[in-house]
């Protein structure tokens, strides 16, 4: 895509300093790419979507998506994208609903990269049923005490703060199950918090964790928005999250396709490059078309969001199509390289495992289909 070429060029310039060996090493050693994070912060890219009044670039989701796509397409894939994802747009609930004092205290530090923030919503027994979370925040004078357990909290060991969805009113005491949930910006590196990394298949440069909160104190001033309306604040951030994830999947697919095409041109078998064979060439051509179609949907969804228009259908469609296109491209890349596709030194195996993740996170493809079936086609709700 040619949208925001100046942004793309600037991001590519930063990413060019972090080649394939850097990302292989970070992934293999389960090492957070701090050098990359700091370079992106120094270039102003982490703060691209933070309002100018708080030290950011003041751009929208369209620009942020261009940044994230180019990061992933550089070969950083989801390891690189996930290292900065939450900082780029994850603080949107604070931007939109936080107090002025909260914005001034935290957003400039997010924009310059000195403050990393995690996101704590998912729980082991609630899964996608967010209203069933059991992590509670009990009011105690001018503070809350948080008790409960979250899973899949990315970057937890490296973050000083966490946006934490908690229940402040018991579910049985609210009229609607979406009521009584609140969003807190809590301290994470405290003795009341236990962080345990989760062993996983891929994207290992960015750790995912189980986090246990044992009466963690949180200042009442760090409540985002109104008490009891946290679920609505989370919903407000879902569409931009879908769009950014789609852009990251698109970039990962681009990286995989580029590696496959380069190999298909250079690898000679039976006296000719394997890319001359239609069995190799046609799937790669199809991968290109699928990625291009996904890029168009992402651009449409981002433009609608930035214009303040309804974009639930477009954002969810973008996430679905980009995840499918990225996985198809990565799968064909592995197939193109044959046995070498399974070797870590050729990188496509890393793209494959990371592209597979995007069909699961931040929600599985089936949940996107239920959204479209219910809210676009008007079919009865399935759950």
| 373 DSSP 8-state letter | I
List, in order, residues 6 or more apart from 317 with CB less than 8 Å away.
Answer: 297, 301, 368, 372
Residue 225: phi, psi to the nearest 5? 70, -150
Length of the chain: 383
CB atoms under 10 Å from CB of 366, counted, come to: 12
Distance CA 208, CA 326 (A): 22
The catalytic position among 69, 70, 123, 241 is: 241
DSSP-assigned states of every residue in 31-95: ---HHHHHHHHHTT-TTTTS-GGGTS----HHHHHHHHHHHIIIIIHHHHHHHHHIIIIITHHHH
Distance CA 224, CA 102 (A): 8
The answer to whether the CB of 111 falls within 8 A of the CB of 50 is yes
User: Could you confirm whether 241 is annotated as catalytic?
Assistant: yes
Show which residues are catalytic: 241
């Amino acid at each position: 895509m040619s949208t925001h070429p100046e942004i793309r060029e600037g991001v590519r310039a930063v990413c060019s300093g972090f080649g394939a060996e850097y990302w292989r090493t970070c992934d293999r050693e389960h090492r957070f790419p701090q050098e990359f994070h700091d370079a992106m912060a120094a270039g102003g890219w982490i703060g691209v979507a933070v309002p100018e009044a708080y030290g950011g670039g003041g751009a929208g989701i369209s620009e942020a998506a261009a940044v994230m796509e180019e990061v992933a397409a550089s070969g950083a894939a989801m390891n690189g994208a996930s290292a900065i994802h939450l900082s780029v747009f994850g603080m949107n609930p604070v931007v939109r609903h936080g107090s002025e004092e909260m914005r001034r205290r935290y957003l400039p530090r997010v924009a310059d990269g000195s403050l990393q923030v995690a996101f704590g919503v998912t729980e082991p027994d609630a899964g996608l049923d967010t209203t069933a979370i059991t992590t509670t925040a009990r009011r105690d004078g001018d503070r809350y005490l948080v008790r409960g357990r979250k899973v899949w909290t990315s970057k937890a060991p490296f973050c000083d703060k966490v946006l934490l969805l908690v229940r402040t009113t018991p579910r049985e005491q609210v009229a609607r199950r979406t009521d009584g949930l609140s969003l807190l910006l809590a301290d994470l590196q405290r003795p009341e918090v236990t962080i345990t990394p989760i062993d996983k298949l891929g994207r290992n440069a960015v750790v995912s964790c189980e986090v246990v909160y044992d009466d963690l104190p949180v200042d009442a001033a760090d409540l985002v928005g109104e008490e009891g309306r946290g679920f609505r604040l989370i919903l407000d951030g879902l569409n931009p999250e879908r769009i950014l994830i789609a852009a990251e999947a698109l970039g990962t697919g681009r990286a995989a396709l580029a590696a496959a095409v380069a190999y298909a041109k250079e690898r000679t078998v039976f006296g000719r490059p394997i890319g001359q064979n239609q069995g190799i060439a046609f799937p790669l051509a199809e991968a290109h078309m699928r990625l291009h179609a996904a890029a168009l949907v992402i651009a449409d969804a981002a433009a609608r969001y930035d214009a303040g228009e309804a974009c639930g259908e477009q954002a969810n469609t973008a996430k679905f199509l980009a995840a499918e296109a990225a996985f198809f491209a990565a799968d064909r890349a592995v197939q193109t390289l044959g046995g070498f596709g399974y070797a870590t030194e050729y990188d496509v195996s890393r793209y494959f495992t990371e592209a597979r993740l995007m069909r699961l996170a931040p929600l599985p493809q089936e949940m996107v289909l239920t959204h479209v079936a219910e809210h676009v086609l008007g079919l009865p709700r399935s759950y």
